[in-house]
Amino acid sequence: MSVAERMKNDDKIDHIAVRTGLFTLITARLEDAHEIAVKGQSTKIDEQLVSQLSSDLESNLDEIQILLNATAVILNLRPAGS
């Protein structure tokens, strides 16, 4: 039996708490992305910093995608009728 199948049958998982926690993390990553984007708007930064900010933003967006994927997984694991 796969981990996903075992989790689907586990009544101890609070699907709502997991979902809201994931969205909390997504919100935090979006706020981080906003901060990075604001820094990148400055006319007084060098190309090295622009490159670093771009890399940081890309990593941040990758994290958001992972959290969104986890959200989809938890939605598929919720018990019928909830």
| pLDDT for res 1 | 55
Interatomic CA distance for residues 38 and 6, integer angstroms = 43
Interatomic CA distance for residues 69 and 34, integer angstroms = 21
| pLDDT for res 14 | 86
pLDDT in tens, 30-44: 999 999 999 999 999
pLDDT in tens, 43-63: 999 999 999 999 999 999 999
- Tell if the pTM clears 0.85, that is, is over it: no
